[in-house]
Structures are given as C-alpha cells and as structure tokens.
DNA sequence: GTCCAGGATCGGA
DNA sequence: TCCGATCATGGA
C-alpha cells in the first residue's frame, strides 16, 4: 500500500507523538510497527510504502483501519478557529499526525504503565512484557500479551518489566478483562461517559489514563487527556481550559498540542524530537 | 547525584 | 470537595 504525502501522513511525527509505543525507527527513514499479530514496515520518504510481513500489503484493510486513512485530518486542521493562533501553529507544526486505531486492551495496560514514566521507559516496559509473555511472531518479535497471558502471572513474574507500584494495577486489569468483569468489546458501543466510568473502575486508571484509552484505543476523538505537558500548555495559552471551537475532535487537537509542546520545550531529549526543517 | 516522567490514590483538612 | 504526601523506577 502506498500512502502519498498529501494524505497528511507523517510516520516520523506519528512515531514521536506519544500515542504508539511499538513504532520505532529502524535504519534510515524506515520504521517498524508491531500491532496485534502484524509486523509492519513503513519505508520511503514522500510516498510511504506499508508492508505487512515483508510483503506489500496492497489495499490492506488492516493498515487502512489502523492508520485511520479514511479520515481527513486536513479537514480537522482547517476547522481550527482563525482566532486561535497558538493552535493554528501547533497543527501546522504537527501536520501528518493521525490518531491511530490501536487495540483497547493494549492501550489500557500501556497507559496504566505510563503514569509517572517517560516515553522511553514506557517503551521498555511494553517490550519487556511482550517478550516475556507475548506470542512469538516473525523475526524474533513478539505480540503484546493477551489478557489471559498476563492474568496468569504473579507479581514476581512481572518484576523484569520494572513496573514498580503499577504491577498490581496491571495484574488487576488483566484479571478483570480475562475474567469478563471488564468487557472491552462490549464497550465499543458504549457512550463516552459510560466508557470512561467503566475504565475508571480499573485500579490505577484515573481520568487521564481513561481518556488516553478512549482516544487511542476506542478512537473517541472527543476525549481530551490532560497530562503534564497539556496542563502546562492550557495554563500558558488558554488560562487553564481548552476553548470551544473544536467540538467533536478535541482529542485530535490535544495530540497536536502535545507534540508541539514537547518539541518546543527546552532541550532535554537528545534530538529525539529535533526540530526539523526550521 | 538531581530532576522529572502522557498520574492515581489515600488521608486529612 | 480540595490538597498534599506518597508511590517505584529509569531516562536525561
């Protein structure tokens, strides 16, 4: 499958946008993504070639869905109020970022882990869980573990992932999903408020993590997670509250704000988010 | 060695 | 309802 640049698709920005922790650069300009049992390679500059299992995936249903290629993100950007110069700048800077349609279960565990961790540390923990408890895929790679696989572990067995105090949260979440108390499939059709409350019933899931799972796992584009970066931006630019004008796609705007805030911050990240072309 | 990270929870005011 | 302390660990 070939994705043209005009599709508002920038794999480098997506990889650095803090929503997907198993999408990484491998070599010059190439990226590798593990999603479900799919191993994708994204290569090329300008037009991007998406390959599943080393083969061109053609009009791949999985990629079309995963990268949300049928949604026009340029249209979202065009709807940003002209009076909001800061958001205009953020969307211009982050153009190419999309909200991926990731697995709700993986997002739930990943964002439980994310609390008080930086992105490299989150990636490391997710990879460790996958390597230890996930199904083997091609090339020595591993799928994210199933709820049943994690639910079967003890706290001691999870120790290598260095989850710290989050270990018990991860196990509790896994057991709720594996045991049927939390039916993520059924929640696909739940209203936003009901979905949010169901997620917050999981130990270790508060407002922010619930919103991340809603946005990145359930594609609820209204969900607006507020982490430390977003809160700083809201305080500095909006007197504490995101203004009206983007109803229905607030979460998409949140992602551009997050990316822009991190890229604009004083250097601490050794070029990981190096400003390009400026 | 220090500071901080895509926070949540609990106890006390 | 609000606020501060605390939680465990690794990356920068």
Report pTM: 0.94
Query: Among all strands, which nt has the closest C1' to A208 (CA)?
Result: B7
Residue A46 has pLDDT above 90, yes or no: no
Q: How far is CA A146 from the centre of its chain?
A: 18
CA distances from residue A25 to A42, A52, A214 in whole angstroms, order as listed = 9, 16, 26
CB A22 within 8 A of CB A127: yes
Q: Could you read off the pLDDT of A191-231 as tens digits, one per residue?
A: 999 999 999 999 999 999 999 999 999 999 999 999 999 99
**Terminal-residue alpha carbon distance, chain A:** 30
Out of A208, A211, A226, A269, pick the active-site residue.
A208
Distance A229 CA to B2 C1' (A): 21
Cα separation, A197 vs A185, whole angstroms: 15
Q: Per-residue confidence at A24, pLDDT binned at 50, 70, 90?
A: very high
Summary count for chain A: helices (H), strands (E): 12, 6
Residues near chain B (nucleic strand), Cβ < 7 A?
A 17-19, 111, 114-119, 121-122, 165, 200, 203-210, 212, 225-230, 254-255, 258, 262
In the residue annotation, A70 being an active-site residue is answered as no
């Amino acid at each position: 499958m070939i994705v043209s640049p005009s599709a508002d698709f920038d794999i480098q920005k997506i990889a650095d946008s803090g929503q997907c922790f198993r999408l990484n650069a491998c070599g010059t300009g190439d990226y590798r993504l593990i999603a479900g049992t799919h191993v994708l390679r994204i290569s090329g500059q300008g037009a991007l070639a998406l390959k599943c299992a080393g083969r061109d995936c053609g009009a791949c249903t999985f990629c079309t869905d995963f990268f949300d290629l049928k949604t026009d993100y340029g249209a979202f950007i065009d709807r940003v109020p002209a009076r909001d110069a800061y958001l205009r700048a953020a969307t211009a800077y982050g153009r190419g970022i999309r909200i991926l349609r990731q697995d709700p279960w993986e997002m739930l565990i990943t964002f439980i882990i994310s609390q008080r961790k930086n992105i490299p540390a989150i990636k490391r923990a997710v990879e460790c869980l996958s390597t230890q408890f996930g199904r083997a895929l091609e090339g020595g790679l591993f799928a994210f573990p199933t709820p049943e696989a994690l639910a079967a572990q003890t706290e001691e067995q999870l120790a290598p992932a260095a989850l710290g105090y989050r270990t018990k949260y991860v196990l509790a979440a896994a057991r709720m999903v594996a045991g049927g108390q939390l039916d993520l499939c059924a929640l696909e059709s739940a209203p936003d408020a009901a979905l949010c409350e169901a997620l917050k019933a999981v130990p270790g899931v508060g407002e922010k993590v619930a919103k991340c799972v809603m946005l990145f796992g359930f594609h609820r584009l209204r969900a607006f997670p507020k982490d430390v970066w977003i809160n700083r931006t809201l305080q500095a630019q909006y007197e504490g509250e995101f203004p009206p004008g983007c109803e229905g796609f607030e979460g998409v705007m949140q992602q551009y704000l997050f990316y822009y805030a991190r890229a604009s911050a004083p250097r601490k990240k050794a070029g990981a988010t190096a400003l390009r072309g400026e």
